[in-house]
Structure 1
Amino acid sequence: MPDNKNRPWVEKYRPRTLNQVTNQKGIIGRLKQFVNDKSMPHLIFAGPAGTGKTTSALAMVREIYRKKMAININYLELNASDARGINVIRTYIKDFAKSKPPLDIPFKILILDEADNMTSSAQQALRRTMEKYTKNCRMILICNYSNKIIPPIQSRCVVFRFSSLNQEDIKERVKYVASQENLSLTPDGLSSLVQVSHGDCRRAINYLQSCGTISKEIDQETVFRVAGEVPSNKTTNILKAALQGKLQLSIKLLEEIVNEYGLSGINIIKNIYRELYDLEISEDKKIELSKILAEFEYRLSQGATEEIQLKALLAKIVLLHDVK
């Protein structure tokens, strides 16, 4: 058994039953019905990261099988990023699916995480396995984007779409974990953790654990340093200075946050983009700014020099100063 002290908190505090999954109530209600009926179709869980897809699948497995021995024999979890090729489907997954479960178990369950990373040929092979061995094995495919799953697989599954968690759900979960770990969260520290999670509860808890290694009292400053983000007012000040035609001031403010927070160019652009639509400027300017940010993000992704590109980005935003 791994030392509980050293376990990632996302695993340590992962809900173990469907009743403990407090969000996605409509979906959880349907999954409980599958458990009660001891019957389920193939499933696709789609939606953003950190919304409870894998947690819900694991909780359902526990409730269907109940006993640990039954889980060990009848359940298999794979990450499709590691097992994305056709050979894994034709051998490992096929071998698991074709062997019959014990008499007192209705079916085996295969959880395939990050299924949208599978190659097209692997998905075709998986479709055939699903078709042939559906009596023995039911599959739960977990993905961010269901449109990356081929239609023949989608048509054989019930698709559940998980939505991003609201801020209150994340806030309550973070507060619970912090109290269990004897951490003190300042009000701005808690709000900042929710802000930088962007609807991803797993990310919020990971950031909380990282902050906890730095200090037992977690404030806004600690959160932003760990998350590689900056307080929104600092990003907004850079944008406002550039839009007012003050190039030197905007560059000075940019250099300050780079030196203080050590952000990459891509992270800076993402921070600017998040603040863009709250600015009191015309819709036309927002559209133009979006295009500019996309252009410079692409340049950086192609290996262009960060300092030059970020200053060129600000110069281009300054040119919007005279645009009505």
Structure 2
Amino acid sequence: MLWVDKHRPTTLAKMDYHEDLTARLEALSEDGEVPHLLFYGPPGAGKKTRIMALLRQVFGAGVEKTRLEHKTFKTPTKRTIELTILASAFHQEINAAEAGSGDRFVVQEVIKEIAQSYNPAAAMGQAGGRAYKVVILTEVDRLSRQAQAALRRTMEKYTAACRLILCCNSASRVIEPVRSRCLGIRVAAPSHESICAILNKVSKKESCGVLPEALAMRIAQTSGRNLRRALLMLEACRVQQHPFTAEQEVKVPDWEEYIAKLAVLLTEEQSPQRLVLARDMLYELLTNCIPSDVILKTLLRELLPKLDDQLKHEVVHWAAFYEHRVRVGSKEIFHLEAFVAKFMALYKAFVINTFGF
């Protein structure tokens, strides 16, 4: 089992950071009547971990006895949608965004089915049972506006038998009517010091000896304050070299190295041939299931240190512009390539104006 799963806290009392948020969740679970909730924050901040710890506080250990259910939905247009749902006796977790254009239908059907089939009397008879069931919807910010509008109507209709816990990276992409019906809970990324403390604790539990402070801080910084990535990097360092040393290399994923190589190619030469090469590299990343917004953000992060301060603001502006285009458009490669072409034009013009060649 991966360390990130093996050492995942299961109760609110075991949470190692954001003590004020933990206290808030404990107060919320005292009477057991949990409202609709919206957890939002960056990846790897601990949103899902806190959601499951909250459910365990409310329902007891029964929420950990989960099973996978494969459900098939038929849309009014006769299209078949297959989704995998993680379920226990008290909750169901689903990523409706995986349904694509059929997400609106899935949201309505899943909540309707749970609310109509749930037996409050039977639930109250179980240890820690409540007269409602919880539906966890992940990646709500990826749902279409039609699906989010359907979610608003459905959550109002079945509030008595079903409570929703929504989980997303950005609350700004969730429509206001849905946000206003949920209690918003922001889970911020852990600080570098908090990540280092957790890495040291995990290292001791795994009998890896003393983790050098310099290595722990380098892992925390390389992970981008993503605790999940930091633990994966620590485990990779353990496989790569043990005992740990302060100068030990922190391995990053291959796709990040690939994007760093693309950034170097874009700054070395700006030509049609280099644009064709960049297109092939972008296709390679997309075919390996790297999300387009992640590609764009990582590429921007690699480009910025190579740029003059006069150019950084404009490049960030166009990165944001094309990220929006990626979200509202249908062909991701077009907008990624358009950003690359725009960057090459800006960089070439800056070099010519500055150095005259």
Please report the TM-score for the alignment, with normalisation by the length of structure 1: 0.72
Q: 1:271 offset after TM fit, Å? A: 2.5
1:230-249 matched pairs, under 5 angstroms:
none
Q: What is the aligned partner in structure 1 of residue 250 from structure 2?
A: 223
Q: 1:218 offset after TM fit, Å? A: 4.7
Q: Percent identity?
A: 29
Q: 1:65 offset after TM fit, Å? A: 1.0
1:5-84 matched pairs, under 5 angstroms:
7-68=1-62, 72-83=88-99
| SS across alignment from 2:164 | strand
1:77-92 matched pairs, under 5 angstroms:
77-83=93-99, 85-92=103-110
The answer to whether structure 1 residue 196 and structure 2 residue 215 are counterparts is no
Q: What is the aligned partner in structure 2 of residue 177 from structure 1?
A: 202
Q: Which runs of 5+ in 2 are unaligned?
A: 66-87, 270-284, 286-294, 326-331
The aligned amino acid for 1:64 is V
Cα deviation 1:183-219 (Å, max 9, x = unaligned): 3644432222111111211111122223333223455
Please report the TM-score for the alignment, with normalisation by the length of structure 2: 0.66
Q: Provide closer, same or farther for how the CA distance between residues 8 and 312 of structure 1 changes in structure 2, counting only shifts above 3 A.
A: farther
Cα deviation 1:295-321 (Å, max 9, x = unaligned): 9999x96476xx999998875664575
**Alignment partners' CA distance in 1, 2:238 and 2:349:** 40
Structure 1, 33-42 or 17-26: larger mean CA deviation? 17-26
Q: 1:176 offset after TM fit, Å? A: 1.6
Q: What is the aligned partner in structure 2 of residue 213 from structure 1?
A: 239
Q: 1:226 offset after TM fit, Å? A: 4.5
**Alignment size in residue pairs:** 286
**Alignment partners' CA distance in 2, 1:94 and 1:295:** 38
Asked if the contact 2:16–2:198 (Cα under 8 Å) also holds between the matched residues in 1, the reply is no
Asked if the contact 1:44–1:158 (Cα under 8 Å) also holds between the matched residues in 2, the reply is yes
Asked if the contact 1:196–1:229 (Cα under 8 Å) also holds between the matched residues in 2, the reply is no
Q: 1:149 offset after TM fit, Å? A: 1.5
Q: Which runs of 5+ in 1 are unaligned?
A: 1-6, 249-263
The aligned amino acid for 1:223 is V
Q: What is the aligned partner in structure 1 of residue 159 from structure 2?
A: 134
Q: Provide closer, same or farther for how the CA distance between residues 218 and 295 of structure 1 changes in structure 2, counting only shifts above 3 A.
A: farther
The aligned amino acid for 1:103 is M
**Alignment partners' CA distance in 2, 1:47 and 1:181:** 29
The aligned amino acid for 2:250 is V
Q: 1:46 offset after TM fit, Å? A: 1.0
Q: 1:289 offset after TM fit, Å? A: 6.0
Q: 1:163 offset after TM fit, Å? A: 1.5
